[in-house]
Amino acid sequence: MDIGIWKQQLDLTGDKGKYSNYSVESEPFAEGVNSKVYRCTRDGFTFAIKMPVTVPEDESETGRRFAEMKFEIERWDLLSRLFPNDAICIFDYGFDPFPWSVMELADRSLAMAIAEGTATVDDIIQILESLQNLHSIRVSHLDIKPENILGVNGRWKFADFGSIVTGSSGAVVTPRYRAPEQLQNKPADQRADIWHIGLILYRLLAGHIPFISGNPEEILERIQSENIDLSCIPLEYQPVILKALAVNPDRRFQSAQEFKEALMKVNMTASDNVPAEPQYPDHIAQAIDFCLGKERFDVFAAYALVKDGEDPLAQMMAAVFEFNGKGTDMDVLSAIGRMESNLSALFKLAQSDPLAQFLLGEMYLRGIYLDENDKLGFELIRRSASRNFPLALCEFGTCYEEGCGVEVDHMKALINYSKSSEMGCIEALHRLGRIFETGNEYVQRDHQKAIDIFDECIDRGYYMAFYDLAATCVNGLDDLIDEPLFRKYGLMYLEKVGQHDSLVIFDDDSPLYAGNDRVEFVIVKDGVKVIPDEAFKNCTNLSCVSLGSTVETIGADAFSGTTVRTLNVPSSVRDIRPNAFKISTLTELKLHNGLVNIGTDAFFGNSLERLTIP
């Protein structure tokens, strides 16, 4: 073997590079310890081509690596011919100047499906069926993991047969998925594959594998203790998991077929026994409706309904309200007391109850009392959402939008928000409004649609939508700020919620707010004639001002150094004093008849894009 030629050939891939009549992309889309996988094309068809990563300097090591790759490719090719529905198909391969293989291009891996929350127990049943076919000719894979199971046209197939053996010889495999006998370097057979699938099933149901970290010795010690945490596994699946993950291979399922039949029986029972929408006591049901905002969003009313409830769900709902300061003053000590008394009951309820799953998922996602765990939180929210619990559907969408416990997927976020809002969830509707306000790769920006959504949210009592509505009025309309709408909901917000640092209703008795960076919105009440000098100077976050219909004088430096973008000066204004809006961020300005004086540098330092002068 000429090492120099091998190295030279490894550098041939590229946008213009070709290998054996295949055009190969410059960057791999998958990479392992010893190989990389690239997309390649030939005759208008797209494939995947697998090539070595590096070449050992030692020629004996090169020969050993070459032999291993040659063995894997030849056996893989044979298996794909025998079982084209169970193993990723090899279409072409060669060994000159190094081993390479061209195979069908998969849609995704099982690892991706589990992370997205789209994998199901039915998928594991199909995978066990494929595994039984391989075992039927005494072939053991011995390195099964979610990354090595690939989806093609709706069917899962095995890939990466680098550890494949016939009979009972050992193999080096991915540490986290090693069976106990592999960790001890003992002979392994098809029952090691049973262990691997058992771990994958555990990961699917719990969101993680039971032996997450540590060196092989530490993992083996935890495995041999046979103390597997099943608290996150539905009760009906626990016996199956325990048997698949038995330390002694003789106590495991002895074949993939036996494993499949046991799982099918449990899965059928679980499907038949999926409870209908739970019937909660009146105080719980009404509290959920207030949180959804079906008729009126009111977390204060929701908290009042559950705070004295003696059942675990009411206690835990009250605890979450108190911990977050929603519907009541923040009271962490009270929240912790409730959680300590009811957490074990909540874990038991979370085996099947969607509200319990939602509450527990929120606790993991937000780090409320429990250690923050995005993956576990996401899995619990996914289970609750699969039962069409509208609050969980909304949170499920948020996980996808923000990449919390799962990769960002704006389409899945949109689907779940839409479904949740159709079931009456006001928060999901609000989030849809935000999507329309900004737009994304799937939704065209539509400011009027956003305003209509925020308008509905406020009408149903979700007053936080006022801030989005105000920002949309300022930043999104083709015309200047929609002042009547802005004033209407600003006053309504203050009436319902009370004074808020970011929203100022300014009258003759108001203090000066100069330098207050918490102020974002200002509504000047009708009746005010003079806005004092420096009233809002250097309020750097002030972006929206409604001057009303009676203001006659805007004082010097009244709004200088703010971030007001649009301004409609009412016809009542006669005098705008020097520096009134100096070095703000005005882009749109509308003046009216009746203005007598504009002081020096009143609008200096702005980048006006639209100026309307009567």
Count the residues in the chain: 614
Query: Radius of gyration (Cα) for the chain, nearest Å?
Result: 32
Give me the pLDDT at residue 247, please. 87
Tokens of 284: 């719980």
- φ, ψ dihedrals at 128, nearest 5°: -65, -35
Indicate if the alpha-carbon torsion angle 52, 53, 59, 64 is positive or negative. negative
Higher pLDDT, 83 or 219: 83
Cβ contact 557:534 at 8 Å: yes
Higher pLDDT, 179 or 157: 157
Confidence of residue 35 (pLDDT cuts 50, 70, 90): confident
| Rounded (to 5) percent helix, strand, coil in the chain | 45, 10, 45
> Which of 440, 475, 510 lies at the terminal end of a domain, its last residue?
475
Which residues touch 276 (CB under 8 Å, ≥6 apart)? none
DSSP state at residue 175: G
DSSP state at residue 45: E
Residues 260 and 391 in one domain: no
Residues 91 and 119 in one domain: no
43 is a domain residue? yes
Which secondary structure element, helix H or strand E, spans residue 419, and what is its range? Answer: helix 410-422
Residues 91 and 218 in one domain: no
The CATH number of whichever domain residue 53 belongs to comes to 3.30.200.20
Tokens of 348: 């038991």
Residues 350 and 375 in one domain: yes
Tokens of 180: 């106990």
What's the rounded Cα separation, in Å, for the pair 460 and 381?
25
What's the rounded Cα separation, in Å, for the pair 537 and 512?
9
Residues 392 and 533 in one domain: no
Mean pLDDT of 352-380: 87
491 is a domain residue? no
Checking if the pLDDT of 17 tops 50, the result is no
Distinct helix (H) and strand (E) counts, the chain: 21, 22
Say what percent of the chain tops pLDDT 70: 82
What's the rounded Cα separation, in Å, for the pair 450 and 105?
41
Residues 37 and 173 in one domain: no
493 is a domain residue? no
HSE-CB of 503 using CA atoms within 13 angstroms: 21
What's the rounded Cα separation, in Å, for the pair 392 and 355?
8
Amino acid code (one letter) for 458: I
Residues 320 and 373 in one domain: yes
Question: Residue with structure tokens 């006022």?
Answer: 466
DSSP state at residue 500: B
Structural domain count, the chain: 4
Centroid of chain to Cα 532: 48
Give me the pLDDT at residue 250, please. 94
Q: What angle do CA 355, 358, 361 make, to 5 degrees?
A: 150
Largest CA distance in the chain: 98
> Which of 271, 302, 337 lies at the terminal end of a domain, its last residue?
271
What's the rounded Cα separation, in Å, for the pair 197 and 179?
10
The CATH number of whichever domain residue 248 belongs to comes to 1.10.510.10
486 is a domain residue? no
Kindly report, residue by residue over 210-250, the tens digit of the pLDDT: 765 556 666 667 776 666 777 778 888 889 999 999 889 99
Amino acid code (one letter) for 350: A
157 is a domain residue? yes
Give me the pLDDT at residue 536, please. 93
124 is a domain residue? yes
Residues 137 and 219 in one domain: yes
Question: Residue with structure tokens 């996808």?
Answer: 400
DSSP state at residue 186: -
584 is a domain residue? yes
> Which of 84, 103, 122 lies at the terminal end of a domain, its last residue?
103
Higher pLDDT, 549 or 553: 553
Residues 223 and 144 in one domain: yes
Cβ contact 68:196 at 8 Å: no
What's the rounded Cα separation, in Å, for the pair 449 and 429?
12
DSSP state at residue 24: E
Checking if the pLDDT of 354 tops 60, the result is yes
Give me the pLDDT at residue 532, please. 95
DSSP state at residue 139: E
Mean pLDDT of the chain: 81
Q: Which of 268-282, 320-334, 471-485, 580-594 is predicted least confidently?
A: 471-485
Give me the pLDDT at residue 452, please. 85
489 is a domain residue? no
Give me the pLDDT at residue 479, please. 44
Confidence of residue 14 (pLDDT cuts 50, 70, 90): very low
Residues 448 and 531 in one domain: no
Distances from the Cα of 93 to the Cα of 28, 32, 295, angstroms: 18, 19, 64
Residues 58 and 188 in one domain: no
Closest CA to 93 of 64, 71, 109: 71
The CATH number of whichever domain residue 606 belongs to comes to 3.80.10.10
Residues 393 and 299 in one domain: yes
Domain that holds residue 383: 282-475
Confidence of residue 514 (pLDDT cuts 50, 70, 90): very high
Give me the pLDDT at residue 160, please. 84
